[in-house]
Amino acid sequence: MESLTTANRLAIRSKTDWWPLILCSGLVFTLVSHLGFMPLDTGDEARRALVSLEMMLSGDYITPTLHGERYFNKPPLFNWLIIASYQLFGNYSSFALRFPMLVSLLLLGLVLFRFVRKAINPVVGGATALMMLTNGRVLLYDSMLGLIEITFALVTYTAIMLVYRYDQKRSYWWLYLTTYALTAVAFLLKGLPPLAFQGLTLLGWFLYTRRIRLLFHPAHFAGIGVFVLITGAYYWTYFSRNAIPLQDVAGVLFTESAKRTGLYFGWGATLLHLITFPFELIYHFAPFTLLVVLLLRRGIGKILAGNSFVAFNAVSFSSTVIIYWLSPQVYGRYLIGLMPMLFTVLAYLYYEHSSPASRGRWWVERIWLVTTVILAVGCWAVMVYPTTRVLPGALAKTAVLSVALAGLTWLMIRDTHNRLRLMIAVLIVVRMGFNWFALPGRATKREFYKDTAVKAARLTLGHPLYGYKTTVGDGPATDVSSFHITLVRGDILRRTSKKIPGAFYIADSVSLAHEPVRTIGQLVLFDRHPASIVEFK
């Protein structure tokens, strides 16, 4: 078994005390500086923004709606956080929309560091936290959008870690009461998945430690009672003001949780996903997931069992990831809440049970080194493309990126014990370049849809406005366009098939076939979907 001596570990820590401050400062700067740079994104982010805005306009903070119709897909807790952020900043900007996600992301890193530092050491704790915040999936996508998953990951990861903490203290009342309370919070964020995480975590750990009897501890039933009390308080209030059957809400929540599983896609797709899922996971959270090669060694079970906290992370990840391994349609962001546990195991093996000469680690670090060299040279490609070379300060910014990456390449060659942190630094530089050169083009595209929606909204002021709904669809207005139109007009853009005298409608050519209308104006919906503002004759 390969491991570093105590003297070597102390030497590494003494040499790298300045690294955490530099890396954290650079990371926070790159995250904050362009958080509100891009206008509203399509898809889930626009939906979160629109639901929150409609709650504020209606004054009903209990009943989420989308285009004025009840929205059952997600409970409203994340919408409440967005609303609080809107009120904090006094505007409806993209920055305010994404601020709850940013706070959750930084808190996730802090919580992760504190748990791992206490159970292992500060070096592994710092590395694990930064791996979580700078992997490709989080750094180049999810840290830019106001989505639920980062906040959900913070809550679910904390709940899972408290299982270990209170189990070590044999404080089972605190274990069940706190984790089920957090599970209730997670449920109000995203619905049913946290119940599965809670159950599989408890089952997996107590099976591993051969204490399955603890599942029948009286505190477990009290914890379930806490969950029912918290979630029940919301739904009691909800049904008190909405006279609808319980099965309508429960059915949608179940469908949202089950629609990506083998129940919907069949055995063929499920079997294929069983094969491809590990590679998808490595791809989404690269480059640090390449370190899974450290698991491919003799006696790995004994090594992981040597530290109970590492063993808990390995067991909990293995128990919970099965949900997504069996679900043929999985987005990378769904896995964010589970990745801290895998990164904990990989960072532990990297620092405590491998050396620069270890075969698996040697190959991974060579891939990192070659990648850094390619980036240092390849970043000059931005000076070739017409859309990027004309950006302000393009030459100077490219030079900064290239020099920084070249310097990190040189350090990787020399500092053999610190290449993981150097790779984290590489990714922060990459995110900086992404901010400078990739985001402006995206922002221009999204600004176009924002501008056309704002013009349409101003054109219709003083008239009722609806999205025209036909038998073949819900109407052409998308969530992005609807948000900007709703914000300018100050009233909810509803969808209807009724032709109301004096009202204006957003409709496309398909829904207007053979309809006598007077065209008021034009707009373009995402993505390049032409529509008209009309009045029926």
- Can you tell me the mean pLDDT for 100-111? 97
- Can you tell me the mean pLDDT for 383-389? 89
pLDDT at position 6: 47
pLDDT at position 111: 97
Span 233-265, pLDDT tens digits: 999 999 888 877 766 666 666 665 555 565 556
pLDDT at position 241: 86
The overall average pLDDT reported for the chain is 89
Question: Which of these, 279, 44, 308, lies nearest to 161 by C-alpha position?
Answer: 308
pLDDT at position 11: 46
Span 46-91, pLDDT tens digits: 999 999 999 999 999 999 999 988 888 889 999 999 999 999 999 9
Q: What is the largest CA-CA distance in the chain?
A: 85
Identity at 409, one-letter amino acid code: T
pLDDT at position 10: 45
- In degrees, rounded to 5, the angle at the alpha carbon of residue 197 between the alpha carbons of residues 192 and 201 is 155
Q: With 80 as the cut, is the pLDDT of residue 4 above it? A: no
Q: How many Å is the Cα radius of gyration of the chain?
A: 26
Which of the two residues, 265 and 270, has the higher pLDDT score? 270
pLDDT level of residue 20 (50, 70, 90 thresholds)? confident
pLDDT level of residue 146 (50, 70, 90 thresholds)? very high
Specify the DSSP class assigned to residue 527. Answer: T
Q: With 60 as the cut, is the pLDDT of residue 204 above it? A: yes
Distance CA 304, CA 302 (A): 6
pLDDT at position 476: 55
Distance CA 320, CA 162 (A): 16
Picking from 167-171, 196-200, 260-264, which range would have the lowest pLDDT averaged per residue? 260-264
Distance CA 41, CA 112 (A): 29
pLDDT at position 274: 84
Cα end-to-end distance, the chain, whole Å: 82
Q: With 60 as the cut, is the pLDDT of residue 423 above it? A: yes
Which of the two residues, 17 and 154, has the higher pLDDT score? 154
- Can you tell me the mean pLDDT for 429-458? 92
- Tell me how long the chain is: 537
Continuous segment of H or E residues that includes residue 467: strand 465-468
pLDDT at position 473: 52
Burial tier of 531 (Cβ tally within 10 Å: 0-12, 13-18, 19+): buried
Which of the two residues, 141 and 43, has the higher pLDDT score? 141
Q: What percent of the chain has pLDDT over 70?
A: 91
pLDDT level of residue 102 (50, 70, 90 thresholds)? very high
pLDDT at position 262: 54
pLDDT at position 458: 93
pLDDT at position 531: 87
Distance CA 283, CA 403 (A): 27
Q: With 90 as the cut, is the pLDDT of residue 159 above it? A: yes
pLDDT level of residue 490 (50, 70, 90 thresholds)? very high
**Six-digit token string for 345:** 């195991």
Which of the two residues, 2 and 498, has the higher pLDDT score? 498
Span 464-482, pLDDT tens digits: 998 887 655 555 556 788 9
Span 279-318, pLDDT tens digits: 999 999 999 999 999 999 999 999 999 999 999 999 999 9
Distance CA 206, CA 210 (A): 6
Neighbouring C-beta atoms of residue 513, cutoff 10 Å: 8
Distance CA 225, CA 219 (A): 10
